[in-house]
Chain A
Amino acid sequence: MALVRAGKGKSEILEQTQAVVGVNNVSLKVPKGAISVIMGLSGSGKSTLARCVNRIIEPDAGQLLLDGEDYTTCTPGRMRDLRRRRISMVFQNFGLLPNQTVIDNVALGLKLRREPLAERHRKAGEMLEIVGLSEWASHLPGELSGGMRQRVGLARALATEADVLIMDEAFSALDPLIRTEMQDELLRLQTTLHKTVLFITHDFQEALRLGTRIAVMADGSVIRDGTPQEIVIDPQHDYVAAFTRNVDRARLFDAASVMVETPADGQGGQFVLDDTGQVAGWSAPGGAPASGAYIAVRPDTRLIDIARAASRGRGPIAVVDEAGRFRGRIPEEALLAGIAGDAETMKGTRPDA
């Protein structure tokens, strides 16, 4: 540890002590009820970090806080209690017991905390219903497909009613189609369950889809931390930029990130608003009367959908909120720049803006 504090590099320490520095000086706040993604390539220390969080791997230094309680050095009994009731985990290769039925696997956490059998099966049954595997309850995991097995793993993690969920490369062992399906499933569950999820992945696309916040790790340290849009707009780091380069911006960014808040454009044309702030129409440059030809989109509409609408419709693009009130307009060049990834035209979501 002294070497780490002295600021020696990872390879230097490996040479001197044969000890590998897994995770170094990572300070993360994982906000309640959101999906926080830790993204990094293999060897970057992300799985080690995840295992430090529930102390499967004991950190040599540092502090772990859960709701302000420091559990870094708590008694084994207290730690077990936390693992049984507060923090659960989903594993890359599912970690299911092959000789126990699906429902018994889901009930593992409940069994370990010694709940009676009937209660275990009742709760596990409910969880299986949530992940849509009720009719598989008495089958063995070996009879299920990969995606279904991970649903069982997810149900097992949910069954303990823990509010913190560590998902270590949970979808990485699944093939791409099933992976997307599971991501949707997780997002769907999250809308009702609001768990605090710490999601570990090496897949940047997955991080972008799931993450409310993303932390990018390399060599045991977090090198970039922010919302998906912040990271794509401004990677701040060559290593991060290598990932963001291939991002499909049209699907990541929304109308709010490219819109201009005035109703008038440079050529003199403008949206005409009525008293309640709703769009009454569009007047062409030169003061011609308002005509109805314009395209309305919501602030959270993705650029890809706006582009699709623009290619079909006629007239300028207005951003309106749920009540129909005018929020801004999107000039064509801003839409194109947003899709092309020209950071200078982006606004609103930039951290320094």
Chain B
Amino acid sequence: MLDPDQVYIPLASWIQIAIEWIADHFRPLFRSIRWPVDELLNAINGTLEVTPPLLLIALFGLLALWLAGRRTALFTVVSLVFILLLGIWYETLTTLSLIATAIVVCVAIGIPLGILCARSDRAWGILRPILDVMQTTPSFVYLIPVVMLFGVGTVPGAVAVIVVAVPPLIRFTNIGIRGVDQELIEAGIAFGATERQLLWEIQLPQALPTILGGLNQTVLLAMVMSVIVAMIGAEGLGLVVLQGLGRLDVGRAAVGGIGIVLMAIILDRLTQAVADRDPRARAGQSRISGAFARLFGGGHRRAEARLEASLDSKT
């Protein structure tokens, strides 16, 4: 008879052995993955930390004013000043660098992969189930292999954030490009576009609202994960909360929590504003703002509706 207390399949030790084997034999690979993340993280964090806090707050305020308007700018400035006064400024900057690093890497990986998926049904066929699994797996679970393969600390934390945050960007890029009106594609071909021109002149600009919607999702996931990775020793606001909980210091934990919420709201507003921009406000101005208008053109809401419709039709 089967004894419930007995382990018949020693999966735990198998996985242990497998991961150890991978860690042993592929160490250079993981080192080389770690290196750019490490460099990027340090560069961003270093820059943010040497900038005087008030200057940084002013810069963020201006960015918010330019992207999203007066209300968001006011909210951003007030929140950041509040964070500064709470004494969690450097922790906030670390979290911000973690997110910024993750976004840069996610864009560098996610958009090309999304483009690949949009162009090749085979690639999408392979990647789609992987993304499904990745997105249904609780982010907590990612910590295990990351610790085994990359160790503990802020840089492995950044790796975990990247892994969690990249799927929506791949998905949205894929759907955005596949959703481009067939007649526009035909127009491109009919006027003699090369494959590359078709991508850059027609597909990417048309898919951009959807891709930016995906970027918004990626930023929010990165925000959430940047807190969770405190458990594998990543510094930042998450660590403040974790330390507070560990010492039963509810006040400290709450301060960390407030910082996290404020950061999340600011990031969400800013990335949504990027995705929502109305090209008409800028059409016909200087070339740079014109380029931005094109870059951020199109209706985000429309894209979302389209996206939902296409998702509905697939299920």
Contacts and interface: CB of A to CB of B under 8 A. Distances in A.
Contacts of A96: 187
Contact of A112 (B188, B284, B293): B188
Contact of A138 (B201, B284, B294): B284
A85 B190 CA distance: 11
Interface in B179-193: 181, 183-184, 186-193
B190 A56 contact: yes
B202 interface: yes
Given A84-B192, A99-B298, A51 B186 contact: yes
Given A100-B294, A101-B283, A138-B283, A112 B190 contact: no
Q: Considering residues B190, B205, B279, B298, which has the most beta carbons from chain A within 10 angstroms of its beta carbon?
A: B190
Contacts of A109: 191-192
Contacts of A160: 191
A99 B207 CA distance: 11
Interface in B137-194: 181, 183-184, 186-194
Given A91-B183, A140-B280, A140-B283, A97 B190 contact: no
Interface in A81-100: 81-85, 87-89, 91-100
A166 B187 CA distance: 11
A209 interface: no
B289 interface: no
Interface string B283-296: 11000000001100
Interface in B256-295: 279-280, 283-284, 293-294
Contacts of A80: 192-194
Given A101-B284, A140-B283, A88 B191 contact: yes
Contacts of B188: 108, 112
Q: Considering residues A84, A93, A100, A156, which has the most beta carbons from chain B within 10 angstroms of its beta carbon?
A: A100
- Chain A, interface residues (CB within 8 Å), range: 35 or more
Contact of B193 (A87, A98, A112): A112
Where chain B touches its partner, the secondary structure class is helix
Contacts of A99: 205-206, 279, 293-294, 297-298
B192 A97 contact: no
Contacts of B190: 54, 56, 83, 87-89, 166
Contacts of A113: 192
A181 B181 CA distance: 27
Contacts of A81: 192
A32 interface: no
A166 B197 CA distance: 22
Contacts of B298: 98-99
Contacts of A94: 183
B224 to A, nearest CB: 32
A123 interface: no
A112 B280 contact: no
Contacts of A298: none
A108 to B, nearest CB: 6
Given A99-B298, A112-B201, A83 B186 contact: no
Nearest to B208: A99
B191 A97 contact: no
A325 interface: no
Nearest to A110: B191
A111 B294 contact: no
15 contacts: A56-B186, A56-B189, A82-B192, A83-B190, A83-B191, A84-B191, A89-B186, A91-B183, A95-B184, A97-B202, A98-B298, A101-B283, A108-B201, A111-B201, A166-B190
Please provide the 6 A-B residue pairs with the shortest distance between their CB atoms, ordered closest to farther: A99-B297, A84-B192, A95-B187, A83-B192, A138-B284, A109-B191
Given A95-B184, A112-B193, 20 more contacts: A51-B186, A54-B190, A80-B192, A80-B193, A82-B192, A83-B191, A84-B192, A88-B191, A92-B183, A93-B183, A95-B181, A98-B298, A99-B205, A99-B297, A99-B298, A109-B191, A112-B194, A143-B280, A156-B191, A166-B190
